[in-house]
Every structure is written in C-alpha cells, then in structure tokens.
Chain A
Amino acid sequence: MLVLNDDQVMLQDAARGFVTDKAPVAALRRIRDEAIAEGFDRDLWSAMAAMGWTGILVPEDQGGLGFGFVGAGILCEEMGRTLTASPFLSTAMMAATALSRAGSPAQKERWLPAIVAGEAVIATAVDEGRRHDPAGTAMRAERHGNGFRLTGTKTYVVDGQVADAVLVAARTAGSAGEHGGISLFLVDARARGLTAERLATLDSRGAAELTFDGVAVTADDVVGAVDDGHGLLEVVLGAGRAGLAAELAGNAQESFTRTMAYLKERKQFGRTIGAFQALQHRAAHLFCEVEIARSAVLAALQTLDADPQAASLAVSVAKAKASSVARLAAQEAVQMHGGIGMTDAIDIGLFMKRMQVASTLYGDADFHADRVALARGF
C-alpha cells in the first residue's frame, strides 16, 4: 500500500511538531547571521538524538529504532519544510546505512552507539569535480604495508567541515569511470595528512573540500570489501538521494503552501490576486507536480525498505522528480510573491537556496533522468 501506516503517521505528526517548535526557519537564519561555521546547532542535534531520530536507521539490536527508510524520509520531509539544518542526512541516514549493513564488528561498536547518542558526525566523501560521478572516483588508495595511503581531493563534502570521521570512496584498482576497483574507507577526521577547508554554501550550512595527502589507513578501516565497494556505495548514496528527495518534497510543499497563502491575501486591481485565472492555473499545475513528486518519494522509500539493492530506479525517479518540482515550486513562489519574494525579509529565497543545494547533491535531475533511461533500456 502506497500510504503511510499508523506508526508512520504518528512519527510524521511528532516530527512536524518538533521542527515547528524547535527548528523553525528562524533557526537557520540564526546559523547564517551568527556565522556558525559548523552549519548546525549542537543542542538541536542532541534533542534529535533524545527523540531517537539519530538511530532511526540503526537496527534495534544495535541500539537504534530500526524504523526504516520511510520513517527516515518522513523526518527529512518535515525538516525540509522548515529548512532544519542538521547532520541527519550524512550521519543518521548515510553513515548509519553503511555501518549497520557493512561495518565490521569493531566499526559498529566504535561508531553506531556514538551516532545514536548524537555524539558523532560522519561525512561521506565521494565527489571530486563539478558533477556527481561515483564511478568517476579517481582518488588513489595505494597499498602500503598492511594498509593503504589515500591521496586526492574530495569536494563539497556534506558536513565535512565538522565530521568526526569520513567515509571516503577511493580507488584500490581500475581507473576512473569503472565500477570495479572502488573501496570505502572510514577515516578519522584527525588523521595526519587530512585537511578540511570549509566552503560557505548558499544554503548557509556549509560543506568542505577535503584533501588527503598520503593519509595512512589500515585494512581495519575498510568498510565492506576491497575493490568491490561500488555496490555498497550505491546503497549509501541511495539513502542520501532518497533523503534529499524527501527533503525536496517538503521544501516544495512549504514554498507552495506559503505561496497559496499569499495568493489569498495579496490584493491588486481591487481583488485578491488568487482570483486571477492566470495564477490559478499555474498554482493548480504546480499542485499536480508536487503531488506527483510526493508519490515518487514515498515509492522510493518503500522500495528501499523492501530491498536497498533493487531500489536504484525508484530512487532515481524520486530524486529527479523532486529536484525538478522543488525548482519549479521555488521559481513560482518568488514570481507569485512579486517584489517581496526577492527580498531577504521573507523566507521564500531561503527555500530557493536550499533547493539548489539539495537538488544538486548526489545527482541532479539530469543525472537521475539519465539513470532512469538506462535502467529502462534507453
């Protein structure tokens, strides 16, 4: 059934209440205006941990809630409505997925309780250029004694400026463009030779360029299998993409809701502008697009829960659709608000800025449309 069950509806209600109360858009403005370099509020992250959100994808026998991807997506969607800044995506979705599914017993013991407690932030470092391209990973992991030495640069790493550890994709074999030969390593952020340069991004959350200059890691730091990390990386990225798609669905719904309120309130030419058919039809079209994006997101989350390795198509449909619909919603929101929509005084511009970041990360609408086409035989 492509509907939320009772537990999921309860989670959604609780999440909406929490973000409305604890993390309204004003909280993001504070991070921006006070130039908080970490890009999120530690107290808020602790409160999320207290709610159990940090462990939503961690199995119950490892101290989490084991609530699944639909639950995690519900949280992303609600956080998308208020532009809540937190390491939820990087840590509670992507790192938790990697470690709970492929971590060694020692890695799980070291990191999962810390994730659940809200005490560790783990970034995933994949991209090296201006386009998302996991198979294009060129960073070298040269064998050295019993371990490896990592050399290369990762760019626009989400939460890379604040991470305690970094899950990094590097090449132990093959060359850029090949799926084989990629391995994943979990590297302590304080490792020698690893430097992080903070990039101030337009959504005020920040990201990092990470430079690995012969960073030494051991065989114990490998997550999953050497040379065969692409499948696991796809599952981890699938979690990230679905989380972003859910967030974008929330982003689109909120900018749409605010725009509808404005159409019912603003008067010009002696009447409410929402009475003009030119605007009504555009609003109605946008509503249809938002509805369709929401369906694609829920289908992707359910598919991930059923089998993350078979969810690639559904996730790409969701990320492609949610990215383009959130873009349309942001554009229409600014246009229908008129001049006031261009000002920093109202929040619409903040939704547009976060939309640009979330739609670009882990593959934009073009990247995912290409994947959908390939999966469908063309």
Chain B
Amino acid sequence: MDSLDAFRRETRAWLDANCPVEMRTPVTGDDDICWGGRRWVFTSEAQKVWLERMAARGWTVPGWPRDYGGGGLSHEEVTILKEEMRAIGARSPLESFGIWMLGPALLAFGSEAQKKEHLPRIARGEIRWCQGYSEPNAGSDLASLQTRADDAGDHFVVSGSKIWTSYADKADMIFCLVRTDFAAPKHLGISFILFDMTAPGVSTKPILLISGKSPFCETFFDGVKVPKANLVGTLNRGWDIAKYLLTHEREMIGSGGGGLLGGRSPGQVAAAEIGTDGQGRLADPFLRADVARAEVDALAFAATMTRYKDEAAAVGQGVGDKSSVLKYYGTELNKRRYELLMRAAGHEGLEWEGARSDGGARPRGWLRTKANSIEGGTSEVMLDIVAKRLLQLPSA
C-alpha cells in the first residue's frame, strides 16, 4: 500500500511537471487525437513533446513490459496513472490500433523477434497500424473470410479485399486475417499476418459515411508479397488470435464514449445548454427524466467495467466472453447518449456545416455512434454470445 501511495505521489509530481498545459484540455474530435505513424504531422509542439516524454517513460503503453517499450507497471499502478491523468485532464499521448489491438496480440502470440521489432515502434508512435478483418461477404460471419494467402516458398502472395478497415489510407502497416487453407473447416484455415501498406499491390479507397466522414476504407490486395517471417503464431490457427483480439476490441469499444464532449454526460451537457431551475434541476422535465436514467445506467456501467477488470486481474486472466456484455451495453449506452444530446441540442443540432456548430459536430457525432452497435460484432451477435456461452442456452 505504501509503495502504491509513493507511486501516486511521484506520478502526480511528474505529470504536473511534464504534461504541457495544452495537453490538459479535452480533445475536440478524432482529428485532434495523436495517432502517430510515419506520415504523422503533429497538430502542435505540445502534442509532440507530450508523446516524446510519455514514450520515454514507457507510459504510452504503461502495462507493457519495459523490454518492449512499455512502462512495466502493475494493474494497480496503471489504474493510478490513469486516475492521476484524469485528475489534471491530461490527454492520452497516443492512440492507435497498435496499442489497442496488435500489441496485446503480439504479446500473447508473437515471436520474440516480432515483439522486438514491432512493439517499441508502436509504443513510440512511429508506426500506425490498421486492422484487416471484415470483408464484403464476411461481416458478422467473419470466419467465412476469403482473402487468400498462397504459399510461394519464402513468402505468401495475398489477394482479395477487406472492408471497414479503419484509417487504412493513413496506416503504415496492416495486421490481417487471410485464408491459407481452403479445404479445412472455415475456422481452421485462417492465418494472421503482418505487412506493409506501401507494398506493391495494396490500394485503399475511403468509404463516405452518413456522418460525412470517411474513417473506414475498402482495402484491396492484388498479389501482395508477404515474407513468411510475418506470420504471427501458427499457420492456419489465426482464428485463435482473431478471437482473442475481438474480445479485446469489444472491451475497448464498450468502454468508449468519452472523447468529443470531454467526458461530460448528456445531462450535464443539457444543463449547460438549456439551464436549470431554482433547485438545480434541468429546466426540461421530460428530457431530465431520460438523462437521469441514462446517468444511472452510465455510472452503473462504469462500475461494471471496473469490476470486470478487477475480477480478471485477481485471477490473472482476461475478461473473456464477458467482453460481449461490455460491448453490447456500452455501445447501446453511447447511442442513447447521443440521442439525448440531439434532444438537448434541438434546433442547434441541425446545422451540418459552419462555425456556429463546429462543422456540425453534434449531428455528425450522433450519426457516427450508429455504427457502434455494428462494428466489432453487432449487438445481435453479442447477445448470441451471451446467450450461448455465458447462459448456455441451446442452439436452435
């Protein structure tokens, strides 16, 4: 306990001395987040300094081992670091699919050489990764994917296409699910490989969404050569890694929903925008009843994320199938939150372009959340997983 208290004191002092004031404000959107990568252009000197200082301590990935660019912190220490960062409003110095997804996969399944090569670059924000999972005919039924990697001696030749590849047009490298055995049952012919997005034969095409933004791409592979050293884990056992990562992704998506509004709840935003009565109650009683219930659910859900993580840490395991609970509930909550924000906004939620609405940030954010219950496994797939694996209800 004493050493944790000491860690908290030291962390607080270090953050206070090293986090630039500009990095103590809420991010204004996806464009304001530091994603890193070969082509990254820092939005400010403060963003650059903050990344370098945090990366030097391994605190962009505080829970990873020090040997791979991490901070080597315990579960409790990571929690303390996050609490202390939140206390001063410090931004995350770096976000990326490398941190969220590939890193954990390599730590669990990668060779020593792969860990040494890729993890430190992720930790320092030098390489930006994207994830090649979904295909036009493999969405909820991901395991039926058809992108092929044919054995050509010392390398694979990859052909096919992916869809909903987040930021593929901005990424330096891709971790990708490919079919390496067409004769085997669908789950047993998939492999997990890494390759460079600048390799000949790779092309991307952004997809315009209803929000007017293009965070996702179609990604095409036409005879891309991939060295065999870039196979992660065992040939044809890539589905194990995919499942592991989906669990991770679901935890992550489920815990989203801070971002754009600086962590304020819809009730708090509505109070600021609409005002309160003499007793401090939101001046719109119909909306108030709904934002109050949403607040209860959001606080109870936050406790559930903490409980699941603490339970998992206590037995030294991941959250497992319960990640489906977090993914389902968290994304449905986030959709509800934006419905409430739109109700609070009223007319002011109708502008799509222009400075008055910061480029229509509210309605664009609202539309973006509609994907939350689709990406990373739909709400219906999550409920299927809960019903079958957690409740052991019979198959039809």
Interface positions of A (Cβ within 8 A of B): 1-3, 260, 263-264, 271-272, 274-277, 279-281, 283-285, 287-288, 291-296, 298-299, 313, 316-318, 320-321, 324, 365-366, 368-370, 372-374, 376-378
Contacts and interface: CB of A to CB of B under 8 A. Distances in A.
27 contacts: A3-B311, A274-B394, A275-B393, A277-B384, A279-B393, A280-B391, A280-B393, A281-B384, A284-B384, A287-B386, A287-B390, A287-B391, A288-B328, A291-B325, A292-B297, A298-B303, A299-B306, A313-B299, A321-B300, A369-B292, A372-B299, A373-B292, A374-B280, A374-B281, A376-B295, A378-B271, A378-B291
A1 B310 contact: yes
Contacts of B304: 291-292, 295-296
A236 B46 CA distance: 50
Interface in B245-291: 265, 267-268, 270-271, 276, 279-282, 288-289, 291
Interface in B324-363: 325, 328-329
Chain A: interface secondary structure?
Answer: helix
Contacts of A274: 393-394
A277 B381 CA distance: 11
A292 B254 CA distance: 13
Find the residue from B268, B281, B303 having the highest chain A CB count within 10 A.
Answer: B303
Nearest to B287: A378
A275 B394 contact: yes
Given A370-B292, A377-B268, 11 more contacts: A1-B314, A277-B387, A280-B387, A287-B386, A291-B322, A295-B300, A295-B301, A296-B303, A299-B303, A321-B300, A373-B295
B383 A280 contact: yes
Contact of A321 (B297, B328, B384): B297
Contacts of B306: 2, 295, 299
A320 B392 CA distance: 29
Contacts of A281: 380, 383-384, 387
A369 B295 contact: yes
Given A1-B310, A288-B329, A369-B293, A377 B280 contact: yes
A376 B292 CA distance: 9
A292 B298 CA distance: 10
A325 to B, nearest CB: 9
Given A281-B387, A284-B387, A317 B396 contact: no
The 3 A-B residue pairs whose C-beta atoms are closest, nearest first, are A284-B386, A280-B387, A296-B300
A373 B285 CA distance: 12
B210 interface: no
A283 B391 contact: yes
**Of B289, B292, B300, B307, most A-chain CB atoms within 10 Å:** B300
Given A284-B391, A378-B271, A317 B307 contact: no
B5 to A, nearest CB: 16
Nearest to A276: B396
B267 A377 contact: yes
Contacts of A288: 325, 328-329, 386
Contacts of B289: 366, 369
B310 A373 contact: no
B183 interface: no
B291 to A, nearest CB: 7
A281 B306 CA distance: 25
Contact of A378 (B282, B382, B383, B390): B282
Contacts of B297: 292, 321
Interface centre among B281, B380, B388, B396 (most CB of A within 10 A): B396
Interface in B70-97: none
B322 to A, nearest CB: 8
A287 B325 contact: yes
A310 to B, nearest CB: 15
A145 B364 CA distance: 70
Q: Which of B311, B382, B394 has the most CB of A within 10 A?
A: B394
A369 to B, nearest CB: 4
B280 A378 contact: yes
B281 A373 contact: yes
B289 to A, nearest CB: 7
Given A272-B394, A287-B386, A372-B295, A298 B307 contact: yes
